[in-house]
Chain A
C-alpha cells in the first residue's frame, strides 16, 4: 500500500487514473477503522488534504462553496455559514466527537455511504450540489444523487468530490437537523431528520424534509413537504408530517434500534425539526 498527497486536483486525477484500486480520503476517520477491521487495503491511499481547493470555504455570487475535505469543525465554527444554515451546521457538528470533527469532512461523510451520515440530510434539504472531478473534467450533481445504497456511490472509481455548492438560503428560511441516538454523544444515528422551511409570515411557502438512518440512503419525504407547504404548522399538519415521515421509513432492525422504533421516532423527529425550522425561519437561528 502506498500513500500519496497530491497538491492539485489534476495531480490527484492522474494518480487515480494511473493506479486502479486506489482510494481517496480526507480525515480517514472512517477509512482507518474500516482497514483495521479487515477491509482490503487500496493500492494507493490518496490524501486530498494538501489540495487547497478541497480545504477552502468561500462565499460569493449567491452561494457557498465548501471544499470537500474541509474539516467539519471549520464549518461549525464559521458564524456566517452556521447563521445561514444552522441545520447543516448541526448535522456536521454531530459527527463523532470534537476531536473527530477536526478531521471529518462533508465529502468523506457523504462518500462513506452510510445511511446514518449526520451531515447529509440537511445538505439534501438545502439542495446542495457536489462538484465531482472526473478523468476528463468536472461534473456537478445533486448531493441526493451521490449515494446509491449503503457504502455505494454513483462516483466512478477515478472520481472524487472537489467541493460542495449551496445556494444562499432565501429570505425567511430556516433549517434544522435532529438526531436520535441512545446516549448523548459519540454514537451513530438511529434516526436523523432534517427540515428546511421558507415562511411568509405564519405560512410555509417552501419545505424540504429529509430523513437519515431509516432507509438504505437518506430519503426525502414528499408527502410531508406537501403537507407543510401552505400550512401554518397547526397540529393537524404536524400530525401529517409525522405520519408521512414514518411511512417513508424502510429501516434495518439492529442493535441500536428496532424497525418499529425507528419508524415511530422518525415521525417524532420530523415534527420537532419542523417546529424548530419554522421558528428559525421567522426569528433567525
Chain B
C-alpha cells in the first residue's frame, strides 16, 4: 500500500535547507536582466514613447516595445489584453493596443547587463499619455456616461458575461415564504501573497525553442498563450517549471512569461543569445498580478416557519478589473454557489462581471465560491437566528441529497454527501453542547483581554465546490509511465507528468498513486515533471482537480504500461489521456445545464472570542470537515486544510487591499496584513471523511479550495453569536469591528 500513507515529501529537505532551486535562484552567471515597465496609468491612451534616452544608458542592451510584438493580444479565456501597450504595434489584435486600462499594463521590457542598468533604462523611457476617465469602482463603470473599456466585445456597457438562473415558479415561492431574509453583501479583494514573487529565465534551447523557466500552474496553457503572442506554433515554445513557491490561482495567468519570451525571441534575432532573467519585487508582484474578485451580492431568501427554503433571488456583480483573466469562469462559480448546497425550488439569479480600470480579478483558491458562500451562508445563519432554529438543523432540512437537481436543473453528480459532512462536523465540534472554556485570549502579549468585555460565540457554514473544469470546457489530463525490470514484475518506473507542484505536494501524491497501481515501491518511482518537452497536457493545478485528474491519468497510463509489459515491451510504455464526463455551459435564458462532473462537500464550525474594547477577534477553534473521497496522503491533506484556513483567516479578518482611483495604495506586506503565526486559529481540527466518489481515482475527490470557502461566513456567524451584530462586509479589521459594535450600542 502506498496511498493512505504519509511518506516524507521528496522536496521537504531541499526546501528546508534552502538548496532547492526556485526560478528566482536559478540565474545563469551570464544572464541579462529584464525590467518590465508598467504604465503607471489606470486609464490613458499612449500618444508617444521614445526609447532613445533609455537605449543611450550604459548597460542597456535593448528595449522591447509593442512594435516587437507579432500578435498583440492574449488572455487565458478571452484575448482582451495587449501584451505590450504601445502606439506602434502590428495591429494583429482585436483589442486597442494603445490604451492602458490599469496601472500595471506592461509598456516595455528593458534588457540590461544588470538589473540596475535595466532599471535606469526603464526610468529613462519618455512616454506621453492622454489621460482617460478612471473607472475606479463597479458603480463608476456602470454609470451611463462611462466610456467602454472593451468596445471590441460589441457590448453597450462595461458589464459582460451575463448569467441567469430561472428555476421553478418564483411568485409561488414568495407566496409560500413565511419569513424573508434580505441583504447586500460586499466582498473584498484578496492578494495571493505567495512566498515567491514571479520570476523566470528565458533562452533559446538546443532545439531552437523559445524556452521559459519559471513558475505557473499549467505548462501547456502557458505555452499556448506565449506562442500566440509570439506568432509561433506551440512546439516552438517550451515551458519548464522550477520549484514554485506558492500559486493559489495567482500564477494561472501570464505575468512575466510573455515579456520574457518576446525578449528572448527578438534578442536572438539580433544575435544576442544570453539568457534573460526577470524577477518581480513584492511591490511589482502585488501591483502586477490579479486578485480575488471584489464584488457585491444582493440576496433575498424566503422560507417557511419550519425553515424550508421556498424562494431565492440573487444578484451577483464581480469587479473584473481591466481584463477578463478568468473572471467569466469565476463569476460562473459564484453564480452556482450563491444558492449553496441546498434544495432551492424557485430561484432567479442574475450575475455579471464588470470591467473597471483597476487590478484584474482572477483565479484564487475557491474561484468565486467564497463570494457566493459568504452571501448564502450568512443569509442562512440570519434565517436560523430569525426562526430560532439551530443552524445545523436548518441546513440538514434543506441540504441536497443524491438524486436532487442542483440549481441548474440538472441532477447533481452522484456522490452527494452534504448531509454526512454537515452531521459529522456538528458532531465533532459538539455544536449543540455548551462551548468548552478556553484560556482567556491574549492576541498580543501586552494587550490582555479585559474579561468583562470579551464575548464568545460560534458559527457554522457549509458549501460545495466543483472538482475540475466546468461549463463545457474540454477537461483532460495526460500521463506517461515507463516500467523497467529484468524479471516478471517491474522493479522501477518513470512517471512523466506536466502537473504543477505549487507547494501542495502533488508530485508526491502522483508518485504514491503510481506506486499503488504499478506495484513498484515508492522509492523506485522517478518523477519527471512540468516540462512541455517531456510531458503532456496536465490541465491546471487549480479547481481542486489535480489529484482527481492526475490520478485518473495515472491509472490509465499504468494500465496501458502493464499491457505493454505483458506483451514483452521493455521498457513498457503506457500513455493515457483521461477525460471525465463532459459538462455543459448554462442556457443563456434559464441557466439550465450540467456544469460539473464532481463536487467536494465541506462544513466548518468556528468558535471565536471578541474583545469588544479593541475589536480584536481570536479564533479559538475550527472544525473543518471534508469529504475527500479518499485521502491519498493524509498528512499533506491536513496541511492543505490548515493552510486554506489560515489563508481564509486573513481574508475575513485582516487583509485589506486598498484601491483608490485605480491605484493599489498598499502594495507591501507591511501595510497589507496577512496573518502571522500569532494570529492564526488556536486549533484547527481537520476532520477527513472518505466517502468514495464514483469517478475519483481510488475514490478521491479534491480538497485544495474547500476549507477556504466556508470560513468567512462561519467566522461572521460566530461574531454575531458573540455580539449580536451582523457584519455584511469584511475584512473584520479592528476598526470595522469597533465601529459596528458602537453602532449597535456595544
Contact = CB atoms under 8 A, between A and B. Distances in A.
A90 B444 CA distance: 11
A264 interface: yes
Nearest to A33: B670
Contact of A261 (B654, B679, B735): B735
B744 interface: no
Interface in A236-259: 255-258
Contacts of B613: 265, 268, 272
B678 A180 contact: no
Given A184-B678, A185-B678, A258-B739, A265 B446 contact: no
A258 B735 contact: yes
A260 B741 CA distance: 13
B447 A185 contact: no
Contact of B446 (A178, A187, A255, A261): A178
Interface string A177-205: 11111111111001000000000000000
Given A94-B446, A182-B654, A255-B671, A260 B739 contact: yes
Given A268-B613, A268-B614, A183 B739 contact: no
B735 A184 contact: no
Interface string B431-450: 00000000000011011101
Contacts of A265: 613-615, 734, 738
B676 interface: yes
Contact of A184 (B443, B666, B733): B443
A177 B444 contact: no
A116 B255 CA distance: 37
Contacts, number: 72
A183 B446 contact: no
A176 B445 CA distance: 12
Interface centre among A94, A183, A187, A268 (most CB of B within 10 A): A183
A180 B447 contact: yes
Interface in B439-480: 443-444, 446-448, 450
A63 B658 CA distance: 48
A256 B668 CA distance: 13
Interface residues of A, number: 28
Nearest to A184: B678
A176 B447 CA distance: 10
Contact of B679 (A184, A257, A264): A184
B742 interface: yes
Contacts of A184: 443-444, 676, 678-679
Contacts of B675: 183
B403 to A, nearest CB: 46
Contacts of B676: 183-186
Contacts of A260: 735, 739
B271 to A, nearest CB: 37
A179 B679 CA distance: 15
B444 to A, nearest CB: 5
B615 A179 contact: no
A160 to B, nearest CB: 27
Contacts of B678: 183-185
Interface in B663-722: 665-666, 670-671, 673, 675-676, 678-679
Nearest to B672: A255
Given A180-B614, A183-B654, A261 B443 contact: no
A182 B739 contact: no
Contacts of B679: 183-184
A261 B444 contact: no
B222 interface: no
Contacts of B670: 187
A269 B671 CA distance: 23
A184 B446 CA distance: 10
A264 B739 CA distance: 10
B454 to A, nearest CB: 12
A257 B535 CA distance: 51
B656 interface: yes
B664 to A, nearest CB: 12
B673 A187 contact: yes
Interface string B633-645: 0000000000000
B398 to A, nearest CB: 37
Interface of A: 90, 93-94, 176-187, 190, 255-258, 260-261, 264-265, 268-269, 272, 276
23 contacts: A90-B446, A93-B446, A94-B446, A179-B446, A180-B447, A180-B734, A182-B654, A183-B673, A184-B443, A184-B444, A185-B444, A255-B656, A255-B665, A257-B734, A257-B735, A260-B735, A261-B735, A264-B738, A264-B742, A265-B614, A265-B615, A269-B614, A272-B448
Given A179-B444, A180-B444, A186-B676, 19 more contacts: A176-B446, A178-B446, A178-B447, A179-B446, A181-B444, A182-B733, A184-B443, A184-B679, A185-B678, A255-B665, A255-B671, A257-B734, A260-B735, A261-B615, A264-B738, A265-B614, A265-B615, A269-B447, A272-B448
